[in-house]
Chain A
Amino acid sequence: MKKGLILMFVLITGMLSAQEMSKYEAGMTKALAKMKTDSTIADYTATSALFERIGDAEKDKWLPYYYAAYTNYMTGWMDEKADKDKIAEKSIQLIEKAEALDPKNAELFCMRNMVAVQQMMVDPSSRWMSYGRKASKALEQAKDVDPNNPRIYYLEAQSTFNTPEAFGGGKKAAKPKFEKAVEMYAAFKLPSTLHPDWGKEEATKMLEECNK
């Protein structure tokens, strides 16, 4: 009888807490898994909407909005004709929702950098002054908040790589930066399995590219 009651108690509380604890985690894990298999604009848009729903329902978590912005941002690169300004408008809305919950977050500053670079690409000749500045400012802010975040260094290296050699860019100049990024990724400890962990493979690949 006692055993039975204990068993029942354990079962019930276990189920309840499992349900409570995992609703967010499970939802996020599922959404992250979907994100990894996404390949089309429609996929990414749907995933972005899913993350946004999680964010709206949870009300106090910045990560869903971060991923919502990230997946939305991805759609901007998938079609050459995509209206990057329109996409950025949505990305920024999502970043702002996340920032309202966690105003000084290096991951969000990195996201701002990426969105600014995307917008600059709409018309680089007339936009580099404004959007280029926004992009570099965002990385500076990220460094101020969390100098150990490896994505800052990856994004920085990436931008150096894309700058012509005559202006201090190119493979040679980018190589030590990618090395630094890889190093930072190695030392970086994920706060949780739900936190962003992208960029490590890309940085390693780019470093190989620089060594070629």
Chain B
Amino acid sequence: MKKSIILLLLLFVGISVNSQILVRGTVKDNKGKPIKLASITLIDTYDGATSDSLGKFSFKTYDKGEYAISASLIGYRTQTIKILLEKDTAVANFILKDDITELDAVTITAGSFEANDKKRATVLNPLDIVTTAGAGADISSALQTLPGAQRVGEQEGLFIRGGSAEESKIIIDGAVVNNFFFSSVPGIQQRGRFSPFLFSSTAFSTGGYSALYGQALSAVLNLESIDIPDASEVQFGISPIFTNAGFQKVAKSKKASFGMSYSYTNLELYMKLIPQGPDFFRPPTSHNLDANFRMKTFKNGMVKVYGYLNTSRLGLKNNSFDSVGLYNQFKLNNVNCFVNVSWRQPLGKGWKLFAVTSYSDNVDNIRGEVQDKDYNRLPITGIAALDNKSFDIDANKSMLQFRTVVEKKIKGLNAIRFGGETWRNEDRSNFKFYYANFKTFVPETYSAGFVESDIFISKKLAFRPGLRYEYSALTQKANIAPRGSISYLLAKPTQISFDYGIFYQTPDRKYLTQQSNFDFTRADHYILTFQHFTKDYTFRAQVFDKEYKSLLKTDSTNQFAVSTDGYGYARGIEIFWRDKKTIKGLDYWISYSYLDTKRNYLNFPIYAQPNFAANHTGSVVIKKFWSKKMFGINWSYNWATGRPYYNPNKPSEQYLSDRTKFYSTNNFSFNWITKVMKSNAVFVVGINNVFNQKQVFGYTYSSRIKDDAGLFLKQAVGPPASMGFFIGLFMSWGVDRTQQSINNNL
């Protein structure tokens, strides 16, 4: 009996000490390179191993029979194979295929500088914009410190790579904004209407942009508004220039939020303290009201509504340059409203819908007057140069648009996007002066359809072909524009890409009042980009060629279109470097643009470099933050070589052959984060043009008065005041907005 027990025991023990089987093998990628730290699992057992630096692994197991064994690692597709465990050793060799994810794949940039949360290639986020010295929290001013953007101090707008301001479109949540900037005032640059804090991301494409967008020969600035904020807050801001107050209420569920803000701007005090060139007999004032509502829908979808209403007015006077003792007066009243409703909705199975509708309406009442010494309107004189400067313009522009884009993700990063949009524009104007009265109405219904696809051949190589169809009811013309982008990853995080595209734009409607059946203007882009992006450093170099195949020509005396036989080119090199790491708490970027451009368009008598293009432009932006003391100082240095200006004393063969002097400005700002009345407060001081360097944007000439040498008198166009100052206090109760500053400098 005892024997049998022992036997039985032995039997059990025997099972337990059953000989182990050695499982070994290698893990390699499809190029035969070893993969380390892959996890090898004998399925349904605890047994397995991780591969070493040679891709080798081995482990022992008691299990016997047919098993499945798998190798897995993030970035690769898991491979499972069958293995028979019976002898002393079993071998399993794996070849893992790339699982292409956004993290390690090449990025399709389509010529753009992106700054958003998902991509680590953050170039310019809202905080960067407000802490750029000299930009005055204005989005487009901050963008001018990036390569490709020209500094055109006397006019608002984005002048990209030799393109005029009309050649750039600004888009909010998919919808084009008709009046992004405050209404033009002759010789004085206006700000953008929207605060940078409305937006979570900016994608700035200086060329070669996606087929999803159109009607811009040069560039697209794509702004995406923020989703539901963290928490409710109340804000209050005060400065000698404006006051603002607002709130954001976030529902407890955090699934909806509502907010409103109001601000009042009045430059009267400021203009008394800081003498201005022109006489602002009516200092700029404005009332601004905006409201937003944001709501989560199913599957993390989001509906956002934003409404904006602004009224502004100003009046200024300059000594007339056409007659001694007279004045030129300019008065402007503006009302602008903008409503944007957007819906972003994942539909499951890789489908996603983006829909947006927006409406805007802008009314300008402009009065130009030549006044006598008592500031009374000069009656008709018979001198055209004087009489033509007394006028009244009532202009109204409205725009309604609808846009839908559908995206389908197909396996990995591959995707297809398609959709359509339609815009209804109505431009009305009533132009009165002594000799005539023009009433114009230019309606346009523009429709477009587009499709594009992201195709990842491998982690390293990706294509984005696209096609866009456009039809203009005003000109009764249609076009089909191909776009394409190839990106190749040299070695993470360095990549090169090539972008190509044909870009069409309906001729500016202001020239189409008499005749409208003109073909689209057209530019072809070729862009080669080299970039190196990490979270701490960004380097980008671009070479581009933009060929204007067709541009609008106007009658030399009247502002009416006569043909689209204009043409031109812009070629150049751009370099950008940003470093957030080398010196702790110091963030700086340097940009340089070389531009060679000529065009013959509008009323140009010859092929010439336009007045909005400098050959060399550069910026250095420096930000230093002391997180213990909670204050930061920012500096920016911007320069540009002289721009062409029109000199009527020269024959037409020498049109735009003169150059202004070298432009250079240094700006400084200081921000201190503290607590005021239990609020999180930011105290800001800014000085523009610290060294009071003289800035000349161009010259205007008298149309009548000549000097002793028989030349028309000239006058430099510069900023209204050579230096600018800002001081302000922004308080917020609730959300700790200042946290941004801290985290920015961790």
Contacts and interface: CB of A to CB of B under 8 A. Distances in A.
Interface in B1-52: 1-2, 5, 8-9, 12, 37, 39-50, 52
Interface string B722-746: 0000000000000010111011111
A193 interface: no
A45 interface: yes
Interface of B: 1-2, 5, 8-9, 12, 37, 39-50, 52, 74-75, 101, 103-104, 115-117, 120, 122, 125, 127, 200, 230, 535, 627-628, 630, 673-675, 680, 736, 738-740, 742-746
A35 to B, nearest CB: 14
Given A42-B37, A133-B230, A164 B742 contact: yes
A166 interface: yes
A49 to B, nearest CB: 4
Nearest to A45: B37
A24 to B, nearest CB: 9
B41 A8 contact: no
Interface string A170-181: 000000000000
Contact of A166 (B37, B46, B75, B673): B673
A198 interface: no
Given A86-B74, A90-B74, A122-B535, A46 B46 contact: no
A128 B680 CA distance: 17
A189 B738 CA distance: 40
A156 interface: no
Contacts of B125: 125-126
A47 to B, nearest CB: 9
Interface string A146-176: 0000000000000000011011000000000
Q: Which 7 pairs between the two chains have the least Cβ-Cβ distance?
A: A125-B744, A49-B39, A124-B743, A128-B743, A46-B50, A90-B74, A124-B746
Contact of A85 (B2, B103, B200): B103
Contact of B101 (A4, A48, A89): A89
15 contacts: A1-B1, A4-B1, A49-B50, A53-B41, A53-B46, A56-B41, A83-B103, A93-B74, A120-B743, A125-B122, A126-B116, A126-B122, A129-B230, A167-B738, A167-B742
Contact of B48 (A53, A86, A122, A132): A53
A48 B73 CA distance: 12
A132 B742 CA distance: 13
B250 to A, nearest CB: 11
Contacts of A133: 230
Contacts of A32: none
Interface in A47-88: 48-50, 52-54, 56-57, 83, 85-87
- Chain A contact patch, size range: 35 or more
Interface of A: 1, 4, 7-8, 11-12, 15, 23, 27, 41-42, 45-46, 48-50, 52-54, 56-57, 83, 85-87, 89-90, 93, 120-130, 132-133, 163-164, 166-167
Contacts of A129: 117, 200, 230, 740
A39 to B, nearest CB: 15
Given A53-B46, A86-B103, A164-B627, A4 B2 contact: yes
A123 B50 contact: no
Contacts of B742: 163-164, 167
Contacts of B740: 125, 128-129
Given A50-B46, A53-B45, A123 B75 contact: no
A42 B674 CA distance: 45
B8 A45 contact: no
B736 to A, nearest CB: 6
Contacts of A87: 74
A125 B124 CA distance: 11
Contacts of B630: 164, 166
B39 A52 contact: yes
Given A4-B2, A48-B39, A52-B41, 8 more contacts: A4-B5, A11-B12, A15-B12, A53-B41, A53-B42, A122-B535, A125-B743, A129-B200
A121 B120 CA distance: 12
A38 to B, nearest CB: 12
Nearest to B587: A125
A16 to B, nearest CB: 9
A45 B50 contact: yes
B46 A54 contact: yes
B675 A166 contact: yes
B266 to A, nearest CB: 32
Contact of A56 (B44, B101, B738, B743): B44
